[in-house]
Amino acid sequence: MDEGSKDPQDRDRKPANPLDGMSPTARRHARRREERLEEIREQVDDGSLVIRKMTPEERAKYPPRPKGSKRRGRKGA
């Protein structure tokens, strides 16, 4: 079987491992993010970190940001 006769849907399927197909830098960032989240989960489980809902006063002072308003740009620029 030659390369051209492959099922066209194969290229649309996602890899079994979500880290496959990512650049090494993106893979490293994803791993670090997961490690930090796991650390937070452990702290919540052992009681050294408490995540609570914001009070109405805090919510008024710090309203949610609109979708797509992430900060972008170079640091220090």
pLDDT in tens, 29-65: 999 999 999 999 999 999 999 999 999 999 999 999 8
> Is 70 among the domain residues?
no
Short-list 26, 23, 20, 49, CA closest to 37: 49
Q: What is the mean pLDDT of the chain?
A: 82
How much of the chain exceeds pLDDT 90, in percent? 53
The domain in which residue 22 lies consists of: 18-61
Sign of the dihedral defined by the CA atoms of residues 56, 33, 50, 72, in that order: negative
66 found inside a domain: no
Q: Please check whether residue 44 is in contact with residue 50, taking contact to mean a CB–CB distance below 8 angstroms.
A: yes
DSSP code at position 5: G
Is the separation of the CB atoms in 27 and 19 below 8 Å?
yes
Asked, for residue 2, whether it belongs to a domain, the answer is: no
* pTM of this structure: 0.53
Q: What's the token pair of residue 6?
A: 């492959």
